[in-house]
Chain A
Amino acid sequence: NAGVTQTPKFRILKIGQSMTLQCAQDMNHNYMYWYRQDPGMGLKLIYYSVGAGITDKGEVPNGYNVSRSTTEDFPLRLELAAPSQTSVYFCASRGDRGADYGYTFGSGTRLTVV
C-alpha cells in the first residue's frame, strides 16, 4: 500500500522556470490538498480538491495552478518560479469517514529557487 506518492523529492529551479510537482494516491480518497511549509513554520494551504474536476484555492494560491483529472492524481504547477517559492511542498489526501478522516501525507518535495 503506497499511500501518497510525491515526485520529485528534491529540485532546484532557476528564477522564471516552471515545473510540475506530482502527487498520486492509491487509497481512493476524494479529498486532496497541497501545502507548503517554510522553515520553522506551519503548513500553508495552497490548493485543494474535493473530487475529480473540482479544485479550489487555499490560503496562498498565487503563483500556482492545479488540476484534478482523476481521483488518483493531483499535480501542482509552478509557473515563473520565484525565490519566495523556495519551500517544502506536501501533498495530502483524506477519506470522508472514520480513521480515514485525517490526512495521509506524502514524503514531501524540497524545492529551491535560485
Chain B
Amino acid sequence: QKEVEQNSGPLSVPEGAIASLNCTYSDRGSQSFFWYRQYSGKSPELIMFIYSNGDKEDGRFTAQLNKASQYVSLLIRDSQPSDSATYLCAVNVGGTYKYIFGTGTRLKVLA
C-alpha cells in the first residue's frame, strides 16, 4: 500500500514568520509531487508542483524535493492569516496516473 504521510498539526506560526510543512512518501517510483491548499468547507486548490530534486519557488511559496530521502516540503514565507488552511500533499503512484493524498497539515497563522 503506497502511503503519503503528513503531520496533522495544527501548526501555529505568528504572522510574518516562515511556515514549514513536510510530507513523506513510500513509493520510490513517484515522479510528481503537488501541494494543495484547502480552506474549511471548500475544495482543494493547487499551490505548486515539483518534479526535480531541489527547490522551486513561486512568490511566497517554495517547494523542496529530496527523492533520496523521500520527502517533499512546502515553505511559506511572510505567513499571513489568510494562509490559515489545511495543506495537502499529493504524490503520483509510480508508473500510473493515480495520485494519492496525505491527510493534510492544518496551518494557523496568528495575527
Query: Contact residues of A with B, CB < 8 Å?
Result: 31, 33, 35, 40-45, 48, 50, 56, 58-59, 90, 101-108
Contact = CB atoms under 8 A, between A and B. Distances in A.
B99 A42 contact: no
A59 B97 contact: no
A58 B98 contact: yes
A10 to B, nearest CB: 12
Interface string B71-106: 000000000000000001010000001111111100
Contact of B43 (A42, A58, A106): A106
Interface string B31-49: 0101010000011111001
B100 A59 contact: yes
- Give the size category of B's interface with A: 20 to 34
Nearest to A38: B103
Closest 6 CB pairs of A and B: A102-B46, A105-B43, A42-B101, A42-B103, A43-B101, A102-B49
Nearest to B49: A102
Contacts of B36: 102-103
Nearest to B43: A105
A102 B88 CA distance: 13
